[in-house]
């Protein structure tokens, strides 16, 4: 997901555990509570035990409706999912109301924590009014369906051509035709225009639900799930951004110079020194890895062409499938089609097995056989699906899955490593009571797999045959650091600005008639990015990013990009590695794996600060490990940018 890296998404913040890369789908209902169970004689401990038992018992049914709605998009599955959400949210409201009878009582610490987490269980708080609850779930399901089925169509009649998100993304990734890239970027952003009216009403309804739970608005509820006050969380994220902003500014300056050289200054930047949104190789400018051909510092420093290795793997799989015997009556076209589909699946599974191997090398278990049978690895041909990568814990007892439309690219490979991090977190804390089956905070869940991605050093990639043996030179080091920075550093401001927009929507400081303008103002402020053409309020560009119609809080992804470097440093230390941080791969280290698994197994059973201290020795989130890791690159960028006018004017956003 990528959430990234996207997605992703997060369902219920605790017990229903569709991991945080999933959309914010809410699970189906628990059964009606018996009269005996709700009698005032039920103690707080008994109440928590009952809720845990009910959730665990129904977890498979709860998540199945959401799985179907994401992998079989049609009116029937949308209805089933909406009704499941509706019943679940009604039951959740009942549980929360019942929990209030224990306010002010002396409780065991674990019971008090369970009750607190229960009240923060959803990022889609529903109004108590049954009609409004039904309306909310219908809106949520409809918007997600719009996104999943979104495509950009041109032409009429027999010349009509439609392209989905994968095909449009491919244009941005591979084409260097300015106009083709602009057309693809603008085309994808047409899919969200019909969402605007629904999103306005959606925000009104979740705010009403949040207020009924005692919060000022839905944004305050979101910011309350971090074992600190909402104001402290906002301040903490600002502090962390302040630590890494100078590094991002240097990367931004370097990228702008290279785009100017590629396209000319009149096209390579937007007025004020902003980067053109459609030229960054990614629909949302959150990951610049696809600009490697433009931004690679040294062309002869050694190959880091993971894409090339994966393409060779895919070609070999296709050749093997074409060589298999087929029915004698099969036409050449049929044979080629079936072989291609079989090869796509084989390549996707091989990429996933490669990722699994890293976790197993740390002493973690192999994924269950059911994972390989039930996951979605490639896009089906016969139906619409949500391709946004996500990880799912279906029953809180080992039925884990991923949902992707895997292509043989480096981006998808690292996304698989990321998604499996969610699943190994799920498997580690499955022994916890359901209310504690979640990350220490939501940023932890997103950081687990990306910590592994940091350990995918050039030496590791060479050891598994994905790149040539790396050269030992300063040029090779800068190339390797740039490769990582295009994914990790480029993402940081994007990870911050999405929720800044939604917090403003929820608290009323961003009104519906200013939705799009505010979106681009924030992208200009944080990312230094702008559209090349005017984007008025007839557009709803926020909805072109999955996590907005999917209602997935996004600050978690920013925090994860800080946490993963802290986790990485701690695991490198545990493995006994000696040397510069950026050279560390703890692949094969059982000592690092044991320490990681111990942390994962705690789930959300204790404040994240305690969990953090047990792994890293510190109770604070801190970006110093990010700066330590990228120190060589930051020094190099300053040298490259010497004499350049770095920075940008956020007012020149083009919105």
- For residues 133 and 89, is the Cβ–Cβ distance under 8 A? yes
Residues forming a β-bridge with 274: 270
The answer to whether residue 538 is catalytic is no
Residues forming a β-bridge with 151: 164
Cβ count within 10 A of residue 540: 26
The answer to whether residue 592 is catalytic is no
- Measured CA to CA in angstroms, residue 295 lies from 232, 478, 647 at distances of 37, 11, 18
Of 78, 144, 410, 419, the catalytic one is 419
Q: Which residue has the tokens 């089956």?
A: 437
The DSSP element (H or E) to which 514 belongs, if any, is none
The answer to whether residue 61 is catalytic is no
The answer to whether residue 547 is catalytic is yes
Of 102, 424, 526, 557, the catalytic one is 557
Q: In 269-399, where do the E strands start and end?
A: 275-276, 390-393
- For residues 294 and 262, is the Cβ–Cβ distance under 8 A? yes
3-state helix, strand, coil in the chain (%, to 5): 60, 5, 35
How far is it, in rounded angstroms, from Cα 418 to Cα 406? 13
The answer to whether residue 5 is catalytic is no
Q: In 508-626, where do the E strands start and end?
A: 529-530
The answer to whether residue 446 is catalytic is yes
- For residues 260 and 268, is the Cβ–Cβ distance under 8 A? yes
Strand 275-276, strand 529-530: pairing: parallel
How far is it, in rounded angstroms, from Cα 25 to Cα 28? 10
Of 388, 441, 445, 561, the catalytic one is 388
Of 78, 86, 410, 446, the catalytic one is 446
Find the Cα–Cα–Cα–Cα dihedral 42, 123, 71, 73, rounded to 10°.
110
The DSSP element (H or E) to which 402 belongs, if any, is strand 400-403
The answer to whether residue 418 is catalytic is yes
The answer to whether residue 70 is catalytic is no
- For residues 647 and 249, is the Cβ–Cβ distance under 8 A? yes
Of 277, 301, 346, 389, the catalytic one is 389
Category of 588 on φ-ψ map: left (φ > 0), alpha (ψ -120 to 50) or beta: left
Smallest CA-to-CA distance from 471 within 293, 289, 300 is with 300
> So which residues are the catalytic ones?
388-389, 418-419, 422, 446, 547, 557
């Amino acid at each position: 997901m990528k959430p990234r890296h996207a997605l992703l998404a997060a369902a219920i913040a605790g017990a229903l555990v569709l991991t945080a890369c999933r959309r914010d789908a809410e699970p189906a209902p628990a059964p009606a509570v018996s009269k005996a169970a709700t009698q005032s004689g039920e103690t707080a401990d008994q109440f928590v035990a009952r809720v845990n038992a009910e959730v665990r018992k129904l977890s498979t049914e709860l998540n199945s409706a959401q799985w179907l709605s994401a992998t079989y998009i049609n009116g029937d599955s949308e209805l089933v999912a909406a009704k499941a959400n509706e019943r679940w949210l009604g039951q959740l409201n009942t549980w929360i109301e019942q929990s209030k009878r224990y306010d002010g009582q002396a409780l065991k610490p674990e019971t008090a924590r369970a009750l607190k987490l229960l009240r923060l269980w959803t990022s889609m708080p529903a109004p108590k009014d049954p009609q409004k609850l039904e309306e909310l779930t219908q809106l949520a399901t409809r918007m997600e369906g719009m996104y999943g089925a979104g495509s950009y169509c041109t032409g009429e009649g027999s010349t009509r051509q439609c392209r989905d998100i994968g095909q449009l993304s491919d244009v941005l990734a591979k084409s260097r035709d300015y106009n083709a890239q602009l057309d693809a970027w603008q085309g994808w952003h047409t899919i969200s225009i019909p969402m605007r009216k629904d999103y306005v009403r959606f925000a009104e309804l979740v705010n009403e639900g949040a207020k009924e739970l005692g919060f000022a608005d839905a944004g305050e509820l979101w910011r309350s799930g971090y074992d600190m006050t909402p104001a402290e969380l906002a301040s903490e994220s600002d502090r962390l951004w302040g630590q890494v902003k100078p590094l991002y500014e240097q990367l931004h300056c370097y990228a702008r110079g290279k785009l100017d050289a590629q396209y000319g200054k009149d096209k390579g930047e937007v007025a004020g020194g902003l980067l053109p949104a459609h030229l960054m190789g990614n629909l949302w400018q959150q990951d610049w890895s696809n600009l490697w051909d433009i931004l690679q510092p040294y062309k002869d420093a050694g190959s880091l062409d993971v894409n090339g290795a994966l393409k060779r793997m895919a070609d070999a799989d296709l050749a093997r499938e074409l060589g298999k015997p087929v029915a004698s009556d099969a036409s050449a076209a049929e044979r080629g089609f079936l072989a291609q589909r079989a090869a796509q699946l084989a390549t996707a599974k091989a990429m996933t097995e490669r990722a699994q191997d890293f976790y197993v090398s740390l002493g973690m278990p192999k994924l269950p056989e059911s994972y390989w049978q039930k996951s979605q690895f490639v896009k089906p041909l016969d139906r619409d699906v949500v391709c946004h990568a996500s990880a799912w814990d279906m029953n809180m007892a080992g039925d884990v899955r991923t949902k992707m439309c895997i292509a043989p690219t480096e981006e998808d490979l690292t996304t698989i490593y990321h998604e499996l991090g969610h699943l190994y977190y799920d498997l580690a804390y499955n022994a916890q009571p359901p209310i504690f089956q979640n990350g220490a905070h939501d940023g932890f869940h997103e950081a687990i797999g990306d910590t592994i991605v940091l350990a995918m050093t050039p030496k590791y990639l060479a050891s598994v045959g994905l790149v040539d043996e790396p050269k030992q030179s300063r040029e090779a080091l800068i190339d390797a650091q740039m490769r990582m920075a295009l994914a990790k550093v480029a993402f940081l401001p994007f990870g911050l600005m999405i929720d800044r927009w939604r917090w403003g929507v929820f608290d009323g400081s961003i009104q519906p008639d200013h939705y799009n303008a505010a979106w681009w103002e924030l992208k200009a402020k944080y990312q230094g990015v702008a559209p090349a053409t005017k984007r008025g309020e007839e557009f709803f560009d926020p909805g072109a990013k999955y996590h907005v119609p999917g209602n997935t809080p996004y600050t978690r992804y920013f925090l994860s990009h800080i946490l993963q470097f802290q986790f990485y440093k701690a695991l490198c230390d545990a493995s006994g590695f000696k040397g510069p941080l950026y050279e560390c791969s703890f692949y094969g280290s059982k000592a690092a794996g044991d320490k990681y698994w111990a942390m994962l197994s705690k789930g959300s059973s204790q404040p994240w600060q305690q969990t953090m201290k047990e792994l890293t020795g510190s109770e604070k989130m801190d970006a110093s490990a990010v700066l330590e890791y990228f120190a060589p690159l930051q020094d190099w960028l300053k040298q490259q940018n010497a004499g350049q006018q770095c920075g940008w004017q956020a007012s020149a956003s083009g919105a």
